[in-house]
Structure 1
Amino acid sequence: MEGSSSKDYMLQEFDHDVFLQLYCNPGKYPSLYEELVLFPLRHAMQNIHLVKSTGGTLYDLSFGPNILHLILFCEYFSDIHILELNESCLKAVEKWLKKEENAPDCAGGAQFLPDLGISSLNLSVKEDFLRGKVKSIKKYDLSCTEASVPQKADCLLCIYMLEHVSVDEESLLRNLKAIGSNIKIGGILLASGVFNYQLFTIGEKKVNTFPYDEILLRRCMKDAGFNIIILETLKSKIDSAIIQYDELWCAAAIREREV
C-alpha cells in the first residue's frame, strides 16, 4: 500500500466540511463517531490526570481542522497552542479563531460533549472560552528535529496524525522524535491512531496512509524516548466503504529522555 509523507499531507487539499460531516458528526455514521471520536476523547480525558499540574501548556497536533475537542481541556491548561502541518487546515482554524463567516462548521463536531458528560448548551460561550485559551496557531514542520515551539509542552495531543505523515518505520520513528522534542521531560503525550489502515477517504479523495502494528509502535515509542504507561486498543466493528482498519489505539506516554 502506498504511504503518505509529511510533505504530502502538508500540501494536500480536501473539503473540510465533508471531513467534519463524515467523521465528526454522530448523525451521519453513528458507529464511526463512536469509534473514531468518542474512543480517543474518552481515553484522553481518563488519563489527563497524568499531567503533573494544571495550568500548564497544551499543544494539539491532530489530523484535520477539527479543534473543538480542545474544549474538554480548557480547564486544565492556561495556554493552548495548535500545530498544523496542512496549510489549508491552518487557514481553516485561523478563520474559526477570528469568527470569519466562511470558517468551517466545527459546531457539529462538538456534539460529542454530552456523550462525555458535558453540556452542549451555550456552545458559543464554550467556543469563546477556548478561543481565549488559544495562544497561537502555528504552521509546524515535522522535519525539524529541534523543538520549534515557544515553550515546551506539559502535554501534547496527537490524534490520528502519525499514520498520515509516516511512510515507513524510519519516518515513524523520526516523527515521534520530532514530536517528543516539543514536550518537557516528564511531560505527557496523549496519542491515538490506527493499526493496519486499509482505506481512508474524504469525499471522493483517497487519503494515503501508512499501515503499522502495535509491535512497531511500541518499538518506535521507546526509541523516541517515551515510556508508554497505558495503551488501549479497540477492534473495528464497522463495515464501511469510506474507511477500513483493523484496530484503533490510544496511548498515554511519558517523555523520559532526550534522544
Structure 2
Amino acid sequence: MASSTYKRYHVHGYDPRQHLEHYASDKPDMAFEEDVLKFPMENLAKTFSLGHIRGDVLIDFSASCMIHHLYAACEFFNHIIVLKVSERCIMELKKWLDMRTGAFNWGHTLKLHREIQGIGDELPDKEEKMRSAIPHVMICDLEKENMTDPIVLPPADCIISVWLLDNVCKDQDDYIRYLRKCSRLLKPGGHLILLGGLGMTYYTVGKDRFHVFTYDEAFARKALAGEGFVIDDCKVKKRTAMCDLVDYKASIFIVAHKEK
C-alpha cells in the first residue's frame, strides 16, 4: 500500500477499542507489551519518583484513549485534563471513567504498575484515584490558535504527549508547529514529556493503515531546542515487538522543561 493512501488519525479516525485490542490489551497475541506498555510506564515512574515534576495541572495530549501512562502522574498532580482530537476516543475513555459495562479492562496495566513500583497488591484504589484526578476530557481542534476554544485552559505544570505528534504531523514544519502549541499551554519552567516511535511510517487499526510522521532522535532534539526547551532526559529503546501492524524501529522517551 502506498503511503499516499494511508488514512490520517485526526481526519478519518478509527475504532479506538480496536486500537486498544491491537496495542494495549492482555491478549496472548498482543505483541507490544514491552514497547507500548512497559517502556512508557517504567520511564514515567522513574521520572516522577525524582519528585521535581509535580503541581496542580497536568495536560494529557495523547493519541487514542490509553490511560496506562498516567498511573504514575496522578500521584503528583491535583488535576489531569485530557485533550482528544476524536469524539470516538472521548466516548471510549468515558466508558472507563464512568465504570460503564463494556469498558476496556486496564487491570493488566494496573498490575504492571504495581510490579514496577514494587508495591504488590497495595493499590486497590489506584483506578479510583485516577478517575477522580481527571475532571475533564475535552475535544480539541489542532488548527485553532486556542485548541480548546472557547475554553481557555489554565497554564499547565506538565504536558504528557504519547504518539500524538507522530500521528497528526505531515512533515517537520507540522511537528514544530504543534510543538509550539504545546509550549503555549505550559507555564514557564513547566515540563513536556514526549513518547513516540522513531523511523515509523504507518500503523494499522483493523483493515486500515494510518500515516505517521517519520523522524529520528536528532530531529526531535533539534525541534525541542528550537522551541525553547531544555532536554532533561532522553531514552531510546530498540523495537522488540515482532508484528507487522506497525513499522517503528525504536521508541523514544523525552523529558524537557520550558526555559523561563
TM-score range relative to shorter protein: 0.7 to 0.9
1:163 to 146, 150, 166: 166
The 1-side partners of 2:122 and 2:4 are apart by 44
Specify the alignment match of 1:253 in structure 2: 256
1:178 paired with 2:181, answer yes
Specify the alignment match of 2:61 in structure 1: 61
Specify the alignment match of 1:202 in structure 2: 205
Specify the alignment match of 1:217 in structure 2: 220
CA contact (8 A) 1:81 1:137 kept: yes
1:132 paired with 2:158, answer no
CA contact (8 A) 1:11 1:87 kept: no
Give the C-alpha shift of residue 112 in structure 1: 2.7
Assess, with a 3 A threshold, how the Cα gap between structure 1 residues 185 and 2 changes in structure 2: closer, same or farther.
farther
CA contact (8 A) 1:63 1:161 kept: yes
Give the C-alpha shift of residue 49 in structure 1: 5.2
Assess, with a 3 A threshold, how the Cα gap between structure 1 residues 53 and 10 changes in structure 2: closer, same or farther.
closer
The 1-side partners of 2:66 and 2:258 are apart by 26
Percent identity between matched residues is 24
Assess, with a 3 A threshold, how the Cα gap between structure 1 residues 139 and 133 changes in structure 2: closer, same or farther.
same
The 2-side partners of 1:168 and 1:145 are apart by 19
Aligned residues: 255
Assess, with a 3 A threshold, how the Cα gap between structure 1 residues 53 and 17 changes in structure 2: closer, same or farther.
closer
CA RMSD of aligned residues (A): 2.6
The SS at the match of 2:161 is: strand
Give the C-alpha shift of residue 169 in structure 1: 0.7
The SS at the match of 2:19 is: helix
Query: Which blocks of at least 5 consecutive residues in structure 1 are unaligned?
Result: none
Q: Partner amino acid for 1:134?
A: I
Assess, with a 3 A threshold, how the Cα gap between structure 1 residues 49 and 153 changes in structure 2: closer, same or farther.
farther
1:9 paired with 2:9, answer yes
Give the C-alpha shift of residue 82 in structure 1: 0.7
Please give the TM-score of this superposition, normalised by the length of structure 2: 0.86
Deviates more, 1:213-222 or 1:187-196: 213-222
The 1-side partners of 2:118 and 2:9 are apart by 33
Specify the alignment match of 1:28 in structure 2: 28
2:154 to 148, 151, 154: 151
1:190 to 188, 193, 208: 193
The SS at the match of 1:249 is: strand
Give the C-alpha shift of residue 151 in structure 1: 0.9
CA contact (8 A) 1:59 1:81 kept: yes
Q: Partner amino acid for 1:47?
A: T
Deviates more, 1:109-118 or 1:63-72: 109-118
Query: Which blocks of at least 5 consecutive residues in structure 2 are unaligned?
Result: none
